Structure 1
Amino acid sequence: MRLSKHDLFQMDDEWLKKLPAELLLEVSKRLLHDVKALQDQLNKNPGNSSRPPSTKPPWEKARDPDVKKGVPAEAAAGAGDGAADGAADGAADGAGDGAADGAAVTADGPAPAKETAPPATEECPLPGEDSGKRPGKQVGSPGHGRTQKLAVTDSRAHRPEHCAACGGALAEDAESQAYTAWDEIDIAPPVEGSIGLTFSVTRHTLLEVRCACGHVSRARPWRAPPDAQWEKVELGEWRLVGPRLAGVIVLLALRMRLSRASIRELLREVFDLTLSTGVIDETIREAGRASFPLEDALVDDIVQVAQLHIDETSWPESGALLWLWALVSPSSVLYLIGPRTREMLENALQDGYTGILVSDGYAVYRNWENRLRCWPHLMRKLRGLAESSDGRVSRVGQEMEGLLTALMAAIYAARLDPPPQALPERYAAEVERLRHLCEVHRTDQHPALRSVVREFLYDWKVILRPLAEPLLPLSNNAAERALRHWVISRRISHGTRSEAGSRAFALLASVIETCRRRGASAWQYLGTVIAAARKGLQLPALPAIPAAA
């Protein structure tokens, strides 16, 4: 029987020193047995137990040898989303382990042996082996065009305005004829008093016009020049998906967390519109490139706020470990995907932020002196000490937790009814006791206790700043809430698969969340952004910040 926390709580160095040799040997045997059991428990991982791949720490996923050709470890292992992890884990624990130990047995005797798998070939590798092929359509594979016939509801002719040879203006009545065309599917603008969506199919016809000089000039759709930051992401007028429909697709993919295949199914089932997953993916990446200039506008808004909440979470990109950063203000949110380094944050803030930075204890944030620490983070660490199996550590943790809880209650009370005496003077004894506990245990042998008290001492003034300014925030919940939606998205999609995909994801998430905070329709605003970007025009400004109530 394993020693309980109650048992361990009574054991310390002094107690062990008083034990006779015989009893000390017996206690050592019990402790050795428990240590081995706990080590086996800690050593469990998705490769040697029924634990789901999602239980791996992000840094282990990044260097997982199972990552194949940009597919994250979770996908390579066949893991589902987070909702299925617990059920799969429990089911595997109860059944499945014993069945694999020997041959299956049926009521009629031993079951027939399973057929062996065929040998691996270049066209059909064995399960788990790498075929050496890149994901997606292979070079030389036959393609196919659209099979759905669309009824054209509108048409637009595009004429060249000037002769490509002599540069002269082309007359409106000059001889012309169509040489090519494309259809654009879009959501028609709403009609006042009506609800629902109406689709339109516009045929864009490109004309060629003969000039008086005899040269025939052709109208050409606008296309953005190549951009090294957006390799293989085209931006231009010639598109099957119209701007407003593109905005809806982006909203479904990011805000509603639907996969490309699910978006395709929804459009087909609800609107009888068939789009390939390739077109849907191109639309999302094109929307990211179209929104790229808005990043500067978001940064300008972010660096001007008085208080900025910031947090980060792991984000896999094609098997590499990156981090999703969230810089949050009341009216704007900026997401960035990149390394977890000081340079990443300095580039985002352009070294020009002078407001208060609210964060957790990550060392990168310590480069900003004007900052605040998240007290709930500290309270959770003290709660961990208070629940320690080491009685001495538990008592220190409980006392520190009680002191910080009293100070937190005093700050909340001061916000409602300011006391006649300043809080630092009124609670000087509690602050001094907390400081004393940190100083006494800064070289403690217990690693967790030593780490926590050193963290308090290093950020002492930053942590206790709200005591002198009670109106300052005590938590970093704003940034954590801003990340929560995308953490769920990460568990479903396993991150992104390319640098351009990460950049598009962060930009579109920033625009969507900023629109939500400003009370604007995200998909309609994205539609106007995409429409302007496809013609090379200046993008519309971000939705206005609503006046405070």
Structure 2
Amino acid sequence: MSPLPPAPHPQTLEECWAVIDALWARVHQLEARVEELERRLGQNSQNSSRPPSTDPLGLRRPPKRPPSGRKPGGQPGHEGHQRALVPADQVTSSTECYPDECERCAHKLDPRRNREVGEPLHHQVTEIPEVTPQVADYLRHALECSCGHVTLAPLPAGVPAGAFGPRLQATIAWLSGTCRLGKRIIASVLADLFRVEIGLGSVTACEQRASDAVAAPVVEAHAALQEQPVLHADETGWRQRRQRAWLWVAVSVTLCVAVFQVHWGRGKKAAQELLGRFAGWLVTDRWCAYEHHPLDRRQLCWAHLLRHFRAMKEYRGTVGRLGAELVTLSERMFRWWHRVRDGTLTRAAFRRKMAPLRERVEWLILDGTRTRVKAVRAMCWELHRLSDAMWTFIDVEGIDPTNNAAERAVRAAVLWRKCSYGTHSEAGGVFAGRMLTVTASLRMQGRNVLDYLTQAVEASLRGQPAPSLLPGRDHVMPLAAAA
């Protein structure tokens, strides 16, 4: 630390007042600096955009509901829930069990002489069979023609040129893209569970073939997404070739489809590539890349706004009071909205309640543009400019005030990024986007991901149209397949 400069020694009253004024200004400057540093130090997932994984260990989260006082687990007297019985046509073996003697008097019992009481009690035991891989050996004979040319027999239609069948290729893609396992772990799983030895390069090759097999369905899903009335969009950080990239997602709740794309940028160009010709209602956060979409067709995420208001609340003075009231009004709005969703509050009553609340929130935001804190002023000016996009959900049915649909979809991608450090090539980025699209869409629809991937790889080997990702459609339309 450098030594302190010598203290001033004023000689006159005017010089004393000048020193006092300078010190007073410096105190205010340092107080503002300390307040800003304390605010940054106190940032967490509840008052900023930081993820919950970065929260400090001592952070106390507000309980969602008060404790009930009951012990964990089943409560005395509660109705029991048993595992559902497997249908008889799916049972592989059945064994009849009869008692040999009476429990009370030890008398011998015989089902041919003693009366049976009631129906037998089923006790089903499910077991996984030991897996033995099926290896098909195709002996390609070579025959010499009378002209002297030797012809090697081609493989039958649908037989892969590589060493692994369609279900094994699909399983590798599923372990990688859905279960988020690394290539060495995938090789270990295949060896331990299925007794299949495979190299790391073969794992990558199988991933690529599965990626190619679902290319047309992903294109079709992306095109269908752009025709929907409402979309949720979000973006998160990604790593590609050890460099900063971005993963974008667009979700349609009504269509039950989510499309992911890895892009080098986070700007307008990437957003336009994701949204394409979409002209409906767009639910997002305040990120500027979405501003090419008309403001009157947007809805800002109130979960993000609530976090910003909580950050304002932690300031002292006027800013803190404004933030506290904005938090109160936002939480009140969410309570009313939850009642609208569960049917205990009508839309008309909700609109009437929201009219004065909206007016008050907009007044508080406008008041925030005159505060002394630069960051708060800037945020309030931006909210004032985007105010029309804050209230779309009040009048337009089918629009949610939060972007939870997109944030839920992107959560699996964040977990993949954290355990794999992203992708290492352009092809890997395409594979990640396609597999995330397939997994998220099929899970929203309640369809089996592994079965779908197997069907897609089989169709690719046979030169047939791939199964569609869209609900209610069997195969990809020819136009999407050509794209």
TM-score normalised by the chain length of structure 2: 0.67
1:243 corresponding residue in structure 2: 166
Q: Quote the Cα distance in structure 2 between the aligned partners of 1:399 and 1:267.
A: 57
Counterpart amino acid of residue 207 in structure 2: I
1:327 corresponding residue in structure 2: 250
Question: Quick check: 1:207–1:218 contact (8 Å CA) kept in 2?
Answer: yes
Give 2:181's match in structure 1, choosing from 247, 258, 274.
258
The alpha-carbon distance between structure 1 residues 458 and 33, as it changes in their structure 2 partners (threshold 3 A), is closer
Counterpart amino acid of residue 197 in structure 2: T
Identify unmatched segments of 5+ residues in structure 2: 1-16, 42-48, 58-89, 93-126, 474-483
CA apart distance, 1:362: 1.1
CA apart distance, 1:26: 9.6
1:354 corresponding residue in structure 2: 279
Q: Quote the Cα distance in structure 2 between the aligned partners of 1:311 and 1:222.
A: 46
Which region of structure 1 is more displaced relative to structure 2, 337-346 or 531-540?
531-540
Give 1:531's match in structure 2, choosing from 451, 458, 469.
458
CA apart distance, 1:25: 5.1
Question: Quick check: 1:222–1:534 contact (8 Å CA) kept in 2?
Answer: no
Question: Quick check: 2:298–2:392 contact (8 Å CA) kept in 1?
Answer: no
Superposed CA deviations along residues 400-454 of structure 1, whole A, max 9, x for unmatched, are: 2222333333333344244596545544333223222222332544122112212
Question: Quick check: 1:222–1:237 contact (8 Å CA) kept in 2?
Answer: no
1:413 corresponding residue in structure 2: 339
CA apart distance, 1:349: 3.1
What's the secondary structure of 1:495's corresponding residue?
coil
Equivalent positions of 1:59-70 (< 5 A) are none
2:99 corresponding residue in structure 1: none
Question: Quick check: 1:243–1:530 contact (8 Å CA) kept in 2?
Answer: yes
Matched, 1:397 2:323: yes
2:261 corresponding residue in structure 1: 336
Give 1:363's match in structure 2, choosing from 271, 288, 295.
288
CA apart distance, 1:375: 0.6
Matched, 1:295 2:221: no
Identify unmatched segments of 5+ residues in structure 1: 1-18, 44-56, 59-81, 88-190, 224-234
Counterpart amino acid of residue 433 in structure 1: R
2:271 corresponding residue in structure 1: 345
CA apart distance, 1:299: 1.2
The alpha-carbon distance between structure 1 residues 262 and 510, as it changes in their structure 2 partners (threshold 3 A), is same
Superposed CA deviations along residues 334-358 of structure 1, whole A, max 9, x for unmatched, are: 110002232223233331x233211
Q: Quote the Cα distance in structure 2 between the aligned partners of 1:86 and 1:407.
A: 29
The alpha-carbon distance between structure 1 residues 537 and 395, as it changes in their structure 2 partners (threshold 3 A), is same
Matched, 1:378 2:312: no
The alpha-carbon distance between structure 1 residues 283 and 537, as it changes in their structure 2 partners (threshold 3 A), is same
What's the secondary structure of 1:239's corresponding residue?
coil
Equivalent positions of 1:56-455 (< 5 A) are 193=92, 196=129, 197-209=131-143, 215-220=149-154, 237-330=160-253, 331-338=256-263, 339-351=265-277, 353-369=278-294, 370-388=297-315, 390-415=316-341, 416-418=343-345, 423-455=350-382
Matched, 1:481 2:408: yes
Superposed CA deviations along residues 471-501 of structure 1, whole A, max 9, x for unmatched, are: 5311111111111111011011111111111
1:15 corresponding residue in structure 2: none
The alpha-carbon distance between structure 1 residues 302 and 419, as it changes in their structure 2 partners (threshold 3 A), is closer
Question: Quick check: 2:218–2:469 contact (8 Å CA) kept in 1?
Answer: no
Superposed CA RMSD in Å reads: 3.9
Q: Quote the Cα distance in structure 2 between the aligned partners of 1:264 and 1:379.
A: 45
1:517 corresponding residue in structure 2: 444
Superposed CA deviations along residues 236-260 of structure 1, whole A, max 9, x for unmatched, are: 9321121101111111112222111
CA apart distance, 1:27: 11
CA apart distance, 1:277: 1.4
Q: Quote the Cα distance in structure 2 between the aligned partners of 1:406 and 1:35.
A: 33
Q: Quote the Cα distance in structure 2 between the aligned partners of 1:423 and 1:192.
A: 53
Q: Quote the Cα distance in structure 1 between the aligned partners of 2:273 and 2:151.
A: 46
Superposed CA deviations along residues 121-162 of structure 1, whole A, max 9, x for unmatched, are: xxxxxxxxxxxxxxxxxxxxxxxxxxxxxxxxxxxxxxxxxx
Counterpart amino acid of residue 252 in structure 1: L
The alpha-carbon distance between structure 1 residues 40 and 422, as it changes in their structure 2 partners (threshold 3 A), is closer
Question: Quick check: 1:407–1:467 contact (8 Å CA) kept in 2?
Answer: no
CA apart distance, 1:379: 0.3
CA apart distance, 1:395: 1.0
1:506 corresponding residue in structure 2: 433
How many residues align? The count is 376
Question: Quick check: 2:240–2:425 contact (8 Å CA) kept in 1?
Answer: yes
Q: Quote the Cα distance in structure 2 between the aligned partners of 1:490 and 1:524.
A: 25
Question: Quick check: 1:375–1:474 contact (8 Å CA) kept in 2?
Answer: yes
Superposed CA deviations along residues 78-122 of structure 1, whole A, max 9, x for unmatched, are: xxxx999999xxxxxxxxxxxxxxxxxxxxxxxxxxxxxxxxxxx
Structure with a larger share of its residues in strand: 1
CA apart distance, 1:371: 2.1
Q: Quote the Cα distance in structure 2 between the aligned partners of 1:474 and 1:495.
A: 31
CA apart distance, 1:192: 8.6
Question: Quick check: 1:311–1:480 contact (8 Å CA) kept in 2?
Answer: yes
The alpha-carbon distance between structure 1 residues 22 and 349, as it changes in their structure 2 partners (threshold 3 A), is closer
Question: Quick check: 1:264–1:277 contact (8 Å CA) kept in 2?
Answer: yes
Which region of structure 1 is more displaced relative to structure 2, 374-383 or 304-313?
304-313
Counterpart amino acid of residue 377 in structure 1: H
Q: Quote the Cα distance in structure 2 between the aligned partners of 1:357 and 1:36.
A: 39
